[in-house]
Amino acid sequence: MNTWLWLAEGPLFWLSLSVFGLGVAWKLTGLLLLGGPRAQPTPRGSPAGGAVYTILRHFVPRRVFLPGAGLHVLAGYAFHLGLFILLGFAAPHVAFFGERLLGVSWPTLPQWGFIVAAEFAFAGLIILWAMRISEPIQKLVSRPADHAATWLTFLVMLSGCLALEEAHVSLRALHMTLVDAWLFWFPFSPLMHTFTFLFSRGFTGATYGRRGVGL
């Protein structure tokens, strides 16, 4: 048990974190280096302004697409916000980041806050998964990687939930091992949308900002 935990929080963790960091950097740099058009039309508006506008605007669905998109967007926010909150402010996570990575600590959630955030995150993720396997379009277009991303993230969260009592080394080791796998796989997976969404919205925003439209 101790060996497993030592591996999962030690060498395997550092390896996974390195692959994560290098992989993300490689992917994003490489992507940007693919280049753009050789000439741009005379702008009517600001590309930079358009980029910022579109990045922010697409956080909220346009009213005309509701209620159809409503459940999807709500579940998405429940998941993402719940996950960010518990990832960043749950006591065991802050302890881990603080001790092992950053050397600083910050205020944490009370236990109940951790649990409520997790419940939102689970509810959101499960609803999103339910839609991915039942909506005809999503069924048709989802790649194995999209399903794997959902499942792996879910297992990371589930193993964390199972280890909540923080009384059994095996459960903590299981959680850490899954975290390591998640980190390792991250740069090669659809999870990269975490960063690429900024580029995607940004490029569209810049293109149409140049044309004087906020899309």
Partner 1 sequence: MGLGSGLSGHSRTLNDDLVVAPHGCGALPGFAIPVCAGGRKSMNWPNGELHGRLGLLLLAGVFLILQAVFVPAEQAHAQQLDTPPNTLDQKTGPAGIWRDLRRGKPARETRPFTPPVQAIQIEGEEWRKVRNEWIRPIGGGVLLFAFGGIILFALFVRRVPIEGGRSGRPVSRFTRYQRAVHWFTASVFILLAISGLILLFGRTILIPIIGKSAFAAVASAAKQGHNLFGPVFIVALLLLLPAFFRHNRPFWQDLAWLARGGFLSRREPPSGKFNGGEKLWYWLLTVFGLIIAGSGIFLDFPAIAPALVYLQFSHILHAVAAVVLITFAIGHAYLGSAGVEGVLEGMTTGCVDENWARQHHPLWLEELEAKGEKTARGCPRAVDPDGGDVPAAREAAEEAAS
Partner 2 sequence: MSMHEAHERFVSETGARIASYLDACVRCGLCADACHYHQASGDPRHAPVMKFQILDRIYRRHRDPFAPLWRLLGRGRDPDPEELKELRELIYDTCSMCGRCTLACPMGIDTAQMVWIVREGMAAAGLAPPVLEQMARRAKKAGSPMGIDPQKLREILDEVSREYDVELPLDKDRADILLLDSSLDFNVYRPTLAAMAKILNRLGLNWTFSTRGYEASNLGLFTGDVDVARAMVARIVEAAEEVGASIVLAPECGHGYGSIRWEAAELLGFEPPFEILHISEFLARLHREGRLKLRRKERSLTYHDPCKVGRRGGVVEEPRELMRDLVSDFREMHPSGILNWCCSGGGGVVLLESAREVQLEAFRIKMRQVEDTGAEGVIMACAFCHYTFDSSAKHFGWDCGIEDLVQMVAEQMVVEDA
Q: In the complex, which residues of this chain contact partner 2 (CB under 8 A)?
A: 26-27, 29-42, 44-45, 54-55, 58, 61-62, 64-65, 68-69, 72-73, 76, 132, 135-143, 146, 187-188, 190, 192-193, 196-197, 199-205, 207-208, 211-215
Stretch that binds partner 1, among 5-13, 28-36, 167-175, 183-191 (CB under 8 A): 167-175
Taking phi first (over 0 means left), then psi (-120 to 50 degrees means alpha), and beta for anything else, what does residue 103 get?
left
Binding mask 120-149 for partner 1 (x = CB under 8 A): x-xx--xx-xxx-xxxx--xx---------
CA distances from 190 to 12, 150, 183, 186, 194 (A): 22, 10, 13, 8, 9
Partner in contact with 158, chosen from partner 1, partner 2, none, beta carbon below 5 to 8 Å by kind: partner 1
Say how far apart CA 51 and CA 57 lie, in whole Å.
10
Partner in contact with 122, chosen from partner 2, partner 1, none, beta carbon below 5 to 8 Å by kind: partner 1
DSSP structure string for 36-70 = --S--PPPSS-HHHHHHHHHHHTTS--GGGTTTTH
Question: Which CB, 9 or 209, lies closer to partner 2?
Answer: 209
Exposure of 77 in the CB half-sphere (CA atoms within 13 A): 9
At residue 166's C-alpha, the angle toward residues 93 and 154, to 5°, is 60
Q: Which residue among 91, 115, 155, 192 contacts partner 1 (CB under 8 A)?
A: 115
**13-72 binders of partner 1 (CB under 8 A):** 45, 49-50, 53, 62-71
Residue 161 touching partner 1 (CB under 8 A): yes
Say how far apart CA 15 and CA 129 lie, in whole Å.
29
Partner in contact with 111, chosen from partner 1, partner 2, none, beta carbon below 5 to 8 Å by kind: partner 1
The position carrying tokens 């749950």 is 90
Residue 209, amino acid: G
CA distances from 57 to 52, 131, 191, 201 (A): 8, 24, 21, 9
Which residues would be at the binding site for partner 1 (CB under 8 A)? 45, 49-50, 53, 62-71, 74-75, 78, 110-113, 115-116, 118-120, 122-123, 126-127, 129-131, 133-136, 139-140, 158, 161-165, 167-168, 170-171, 208-209, 212-215
